């Protein structure tokens, strides 16, 4: 692997690599802007590792006049465990050393605990610090849902018998609904991120692979995936672990497929499948971060509100899941 500073032409390949490495979880981070801003800053660079004209590793490095920082460190998922990550870190360190920097810092999302081992292997240590931040662009969130730092209101809903379900005709015609029996953690994380990213779904991101696998492969947890023309477009998850009830734990359509009446279509399927398992109650909850149509849609399909709760807004405080490196 040859390591060099990125050219403008590398932009698309580098961003694709960051995406494939799961680094683009924060909708407020625009990777194109980040790529260009860093290269133009005069005190940072994007390093790319390439082999056979293919970008297989990348990292952003720079300094703020005091400390050196690394961001967006990634090796291609097919090229891990070959020492490429180590070489990228060394290249960043060399870059900073040349710039006269004496100490390097970096931030790791608390959901990305696996990578801490990697950095420790590279000689980095966890320092007890509180990270504080404030946005200067006034942008709390890109799309939909609650944007303020008011408390988030969670509404709990339930239905106690099978409701009459409307016939919904979505726009796309080639639909398939398949149960993901024993889904892999990677596939599930993809579904969860693709559906929940704009609605600040973070709970499952905070789980380790093992903890997540235990839930999604539980024989009383059912994950169903909706495909449009063979492409995943949404999913729902029925949690039957609290007998005799069933909880519609997650439900959603991916952003590219919103506006095609797939939401009501999938909800009708979810409710129908849930009731075929004969629960005492079917429950669901939604909060003010969710799509504004979620609550009225659940009510229209026969759920009725039975409780409310509040939690602090994620916009009120630094959340490493949102402010990801
Ligand atoms: C983190 C990442 C860059 C590591 O890349 P990699 O090419 O697999 O790492 P290397 O092969 O160079 O590993 C170097 C050493 O770290 C160890 N290591 C790698 N990942 C590790 C982990 N998760 N936990 C503990 N050790 C780890 C390797 O075993 C190796 O040890 P050795 O030199 O003693 O054999 C890669 O996993 C990645 O791109 N992850 C997704 C993006 C990401 O999370 N980036 C960090 C954002 S803060």
82 and 209 inside one domain: no
Q: Which residues line ligand 1 (CB under 6 A)?
A: 21-23, 73-75, 80-86, 108, 112, 114-115, 117-118, 121, 325
Report, as an integer, the average pLDDT of 221-232.
Answer: 97
Residue 63 lies in a domain: yes
91 and 156 inside one domain: no
Residue at token pair 């407020």:
28
- Half-sphere exposure (CA, 13 Å, Cβ side) for 208? 6
Contact 236/266 with Cβ under 8 angstroms?
yes
For residue 118, the CA-to-ligand 1 centroid distance in Å is: 4
Tokens of 282: 């079917």
Residue 57 lies in a domain: yes
Report, as an integer, the average pLDDT of 205-224.
Answer: 95
Residue 324 confidence (pLDDT) = 47
Q: Which atom of ligand 1 is nearest to the CA of 72?
A: 47
Confidence band of 180 (pLDDT split at 50, 70, 90): very high
Chain center to CA of 161:
34
Q: What is the pTM of this model?
A: 0.55
Residue 323 lies in a domain: no
For residue 88, what are the domain limits?
A: 2-121
* Ligand 1 atom 7 nearest Cα: 85
Q: Which long-range contacts (CB under 8 A, 24 or more apart) does 72-81 make?
A: 72/18, 72/23, 72/31, 72/34, 72/46, 72/325, 73/106, 73/325, 74/17, 74/18, 74/20, 74/21, 74/23, 75/21, 75/49, 76/17, 76/20, 76/21, 77/20, 77/21
Residue 259 confidence (pLDDT) = 87
Residue 121 above 80 pLDDT? Answer: yes
111 and 168 inside one domain: no
245 and 167 inside one domain: yes
Last residue of a domain, one of 72, 99, 121: 121
83 and 228 inside one domain: no
Confidence band of 325 (pLDDT split at 50, 70, 90): very low
Handedness of CA 14, 20, 21, 24 (dihedral sign): positive
163 and 111 inside one domain: no
pLDDT in tens, 262-288: 999 999 999 999 999 999 999 999 988
Print the SS3 string covering 16-67. Answer: HHHHHCCCCCCCCCCHHHHHHHHHHHCCEEEEEEEECCEEEEEEEEEECCCC
Residue 130 lies in a domain: no
Residue 135 lies in a domain: no
Q: Which atom of ligand 1 is nearest to the CA of 107?
A: 48
What percent of the chain lies above the pLDDT cut of 90? 68
* Ligand 1 atom 41 nearest Cα: 21
Handedness of CA 156, 162, 165, 171 (dihedral sign): positive
* Higher-scoring residue by pLDDT: 118, 110: 118
Residue 191 lies in a domain: yes
For residue 81, the CA-to-ligand 1 centroid distance in Å is: 7
Residue 142 lies in a domain: no
């Amino acid at each position: 692997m040859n390591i060099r500073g990125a050219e403008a032409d590398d932009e698309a390949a580098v961003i694709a690599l960051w995406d494939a490495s799961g680094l683009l979880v924060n909708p407020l981070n625009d990777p194109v802007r980040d790529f260009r801003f860093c290269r133009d800053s005069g005190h940072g660079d994007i390093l790319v590792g390439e082999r056979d004209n293919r970008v297989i590793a990348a990292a952003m490095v720079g300094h703020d006049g005091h400390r050196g920082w690394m961001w967006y460190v990634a090796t291609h998922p097919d090229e891990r465990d070959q020492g490429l990550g180590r070489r990228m870190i060394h290249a960043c360190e060399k870059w900073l050393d040349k710039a006269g920097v004496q100490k390097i810092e970096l931030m790791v999302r608390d959901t990305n605990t696996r990578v801490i081992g990697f950095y420790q292997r590279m000689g980095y240590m966890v320092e007890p610090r509180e990270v504080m931040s404030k946005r200067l662009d006034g942008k709390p969130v890109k799309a939909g849902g609650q944007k303020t730092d008011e408390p988030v209101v969670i509404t709990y809903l339930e239905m106690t018998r099978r409701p009459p379900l409307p016939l919904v005709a979505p726009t796309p015609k080639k639909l398939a609904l398949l149960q993901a029996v024993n889904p892999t953690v990677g596939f599930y994380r993809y579904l969860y991120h693709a559906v929940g990213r704009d609605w600040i779904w973070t709970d499952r991101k905070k789980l380790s692979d093992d903890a997540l696998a235990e839930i999604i492969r539980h024989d009383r947890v059912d994950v169903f995936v909706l495909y449009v023309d063979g492409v995943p477009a949404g999913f729902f998850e029925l949690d039957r672990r609290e007998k005799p009830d069933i909880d519609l734990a997650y439900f959603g359509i991916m952003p590219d497929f919103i506006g095609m009446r797939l939401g009501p279509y999938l909800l009708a399927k979810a409710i129908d499948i849930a009731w075929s398992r004969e629960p005492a109650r079917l429950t669901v909850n939604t909060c003010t971060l969710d799509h504004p149509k979620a609550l009225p849609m659940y009510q229209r399909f026969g759920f009725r509100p039975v409780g409310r709760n509040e939690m602090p807004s994620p916009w009120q405080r630094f959340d490493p899941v949102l402010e990801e490196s």
